[in-house]
Amino acid sequence: MTTTSTMAKPNRASTPSNAAALAGRLLLAVIFLASGAGKIAAPAMTIGYIQSVGLPFAEVGYFLAILVEVIGGLALIIGFHTRWAALALAIFTIVAAVLFHNNLADQNQMIHFMKNLAITGGLLQVIAFGAGRVSIDERGRA
């Protein structure tokens, strides 16, 4: 005997889903754009922080961090190559957690570490489900 599911399949064109995908991308992007802007505003402090954890080539790391955060954040906002942007940001966020927030005995650092894991979880959702209909990625697929 075959049963038919009473649950409707999600409608890709539904307004709530589109709004949620856009809001999710915007909320994820804002932390990267704010962090990138902070790095641009205080290069010496950021480079010093990178050096303080013993990483070599702090200036290169500084430049790469700005590129990933600003370009990745903007790509999330407009939904351009969104899955790739989310992947780059997810990798960046995990690396930042491991390198800069690894003192889990310090409650503040543990919270930052867990925050980075949560942000990565959101980015993995973007990788899995894409940008949603309100995006450059979906514009040509309508």
pLDDT in tens, 41-51: 999 999 999 99
**Using one digit for the tens of pLDDT, what is the confidence trace for 72-118?**
999 999 999 999 999 999 999 999 999 999 999 999 999 999 999 99
Given a cut of 60, whether residue 134 has pLDDT beyond it is yes
4-10's contacts with Cβ under 8 Å and 24+ in sequence apart are none
- The reply to whether 99 falls in a domain is yes
83 closest CA partner among 16, 10, 136, 27: 136
- The reply to whether 134 falls in a domain is yes
- The reply to whether 82 falls in a domain is yes
Q: How confident is the model at residue 13 (pLDDT cuts 50, 70, 90)?
A: low
Note the Cα 39 to chain centre separation in Å: 17
- The reply to whether 15 falls in a domain is no
- The reply to whether 103 falls in a domain is yes
| Tally of structural domains, the chain | 1
Q: How confident is the model at residue 9 (pLDDT cuts 50, 70, 90)?
A: very low
Residue 28 is part of which domain span?
A: 21-139
- Decide: residue 75, CB within 10 A, 0-12 exposed, 13-18 middle, 19+ buried: buried
82-116 per-residue burial string, b: 16 or more CB within 10 A, e: under 16: bbebbbbbbebbeebbeebbeeeeeeeeeebbeeb
- The reply to whether 13 falls in a domain is no
Distances (CA, A) of 110 to 3, 28, 84: 48, 20, 28
- The reply to whether 9 falls in a domain is no
Given a cut of 50, whether residue 7 has pLDDT beyond it is no
Residue-level pLDDT at 142: 57
> What's the whole-number mean pLDDT along residues 52-71?
97
Tokens of 93: 């966020």
- The reply to whether 91 falls in a domain is yes
Instruction: Please tell me whether residue 42 adopts helix, strand or coil conformation.
Output: coil
Residue whose pair of structure tokens reads 């992947």 in the numeric block: 87
Residue-level pLDDT at 16: 87
The answer to whether the beta carbons of residues 137 and 81 sit under 8 Å apart is yes
Q: How confident is the model at residue 5 (pLDDT cuts 50, 70, 90)?
A: very low
